[in-house]
Each structure stands twice: as structure tokens, then as C-alpha cells.
Amino acid sequence: MLSIPRALHDEIVAHARRDHPDEACGIVAGPEGSDRPERFIPMLNAARSPTFYEFDSADLLRLYRELDANDEEPVVIYHSHTATEAYPSRTDISYASEPNAHYVLVSTREPDTVEFRSFRIVDGAVTEEPVELV
């Protein structure tokens, strides 16, 4: 189960809506080994695409150095889908490389509806998990 503060949930949703019609992406970092999302880190979608997201490689390198220096890890890796449901695509599954992370998807296809779902993706297997707002 992903237990996430409502404020972080709202920041992820706001970022997804702000970047629409392009996909938004980012992470929420937390203390290493804690499974506690604490620090919202929106990233730039280097692909600037409505159907694909890509972290800028230089930004990603800086981010991982910062996480290492702070004894943090990505607890949540999120992105949005602009025209489809909040479910991992084949591409999303193939790029999922953090077995301990919660992969959150937000669909912005309906402007007045929040579709916020979380998944574990390990070795190509996708498992949806409940989301608890705290």
C-alpha cells in the first residue's frame, strides 16, 4: 500500500494538470529504506510529449547524487497519462528500474476527475496497490 500525505498527492495532481497536454513526471523522495514519501521533486519531461516522458539525463544524475548525499531514495516515481487511463504502458513497464518504488500514474484525460493510481513494477510484473491519503 502507498501511504502518502494529501499535500504530496495534491502536488503531483497539480503538476500533471499544469503540464497537460504533455506528460508530467517527477519523484517523491524519502529516507532510505523508510517507504515514506516526504520530498516532492517535479522534473522536466525532456521529451515534451503528450504520449511519452523522459527524465533529462543530466538532471537525473544530479538528482541521484543529491539523493545519495541526503541518504534518500525515490519512494514514488510518478508521471501522467494525458489521453488514457492511469495504468502503466508497455514502455512504462520496460523502463521501471526501481523495484522498491511506488509507480504512480495520474490521468489528466478528464479535467474534472482525479485518477490517481499506484503500482509496484518488478521484473515486468505490474501489481496495483491501494493508496491511502494521510
Whether the pLDDT of residue 54 is over 90: the answer is: yes
Q: Mind listing the pLDDT tens digit for each residue in 71-97?
A: 999 999 999 999 999 999 999 999 999
Is the Cβ–Cβ distance between 85 and 77 less than 8 Å? no
Within 13 A of 8's CA, how many CA atoms are on the CB side? 24
109-127 per-position pLDDT tens digit: 998 898 999 999 999 999 9
In sequence order, what are the residues at sequence separation of 6 or more whose Cβ sits closer than 8 angstroms to the Cβ of residue 91?
52
DSSP states of 23-42:
PPEEEEEEETTS----EEEE
Q: What is the total residue count of the chain? A: 134
pLDDT score of 41: 97
Q: How far apart (Å, rounded) are the C-alpha atoms in residues 108 and 14?
A: 10
Residue 73, SS3?
strand
Structural domain boundaries in the chain: 2-133
Domain 2-133 has CATH 3.40.140.10: yes
Q: Are 23 and 81 in contact (CB under 8 A)?
A: yes
Q: Do β-strands 115-122 and 125-129 pair in parallel, antiparallel, or remain unpaired?
A: antiparallel
Element (H, E) at 8: helix 6-19
State the average pLDDT over residues 102-108.
98
- Report how far residue 41's alpha carbon sits from residue 36's, in angstroms, rounded to the nearest whole number: 14
- Give yes or no for residue 8 having a pLDDT over 90: yes
Backbone angles phi, psi at 18, to 5 degrees: -65, -40
